[in-house]
A and B are shown apart, each in its own frame.
Chain A
Amino acid sequence: DSGVTQTPKHLITATGQRVTLRCSPRSGDLSVYWYQQSLDQGLQFLIQYYNGEERAKGNILERFSAQQFPDLHSELNLSSLELGDSALYFCASSLRTAYNSPLHFGNGTRLTVT
């Protein structure tokens, strides 16, 4: 068990809808990362937060947004969903942003857009 909790485990929704994915980092970890895993694109970095502030952005669409709350949990909001957004969304956390602070991954949220 990595200590990173993601909810829900599975999500099925229709095109055009909006969903929110939730992540609780390991106790004490200040940094949260979101990744998208799809069959054709592999694992893609979306966005990173550290202690409530956005630190880095990757290949995140404008329809997607995220935030990290004072209690350090994070939410990833996906709107105007398209079929191509179907993927496994991972959250990871680390104590710091330094490269020698290992990332611990949650079990992911499987999003299916129909």
Chain B
Amino acid sequence: AQTVTQSQPEMSVQEAETVTLSCTYDTSESDYYLFWYKQPPSRQMILVIRQEAYKQQNATENRFSVNFQKAAKSFSLKISDSQLGDAAMYFCAYRSAGNYGGSQGNLIFGKGTKLSVKP
């Protein structure tokens, strides 16, 4: 079964600085999707960025970028020029390309990293 591990329960960053959140995953599949979701205090789950496993180029969305290391099964999120509104829980998630053990299409989440932004 696939697993997702976020080893940093909490992180803190100074406003305007850069922070990197770590995520590792375990899978025997070769084709899959990886995601970072943000959950602010409003509790809504907001998609931040996604990466297809077969794409070598790292995904970028404005101030958010990933470092995808397929061989190492690592998928870290870098937030540049951190803003107060970036304070939230961040979840790394894995999605299989196939239907393994009834997991068709659903997301497997890590435990999350709580990010604080200091003014």
**Chain A interface residues toward B at CB < 8 A:** 2, 31, 33, 35, 42-43, 45, 48, 55-58, 88, 90, 92, 94, 96-105, 107-108, 110
Contact = CB atoms under 8 A, between A and B. Distances in A.
Interface of B: 31-33, 37, 42-47, 50, 52, 91, 95-99, 102-112
B106 A88 contact: no
Instruction: Tell me whether chain B's interface is mostly helix, strand or loop, or mixed.
Output: loop
B73 to A, nearest CB: 17
A110 B42 CA distance: 12
A102 B50 contact: yes
A100 B110 contact: no
A39 to B, nearest CB: 10
A56 B104 contact: yes
Contact of A99 (B32, B37, B42, B102): B32
Nearest to B50: A102
20 contacts: A33-B106, A35-B107, A42-B110, A43-B109, A45-B103, A56-B103, A56-B104, A57-B102, A58-B106, A92-B107, A97-B105, A98-B105, A99-B33, A100-B33, A102-B50, A103-B107, A105-B46, A107-B44, A108-B44, A110-B43
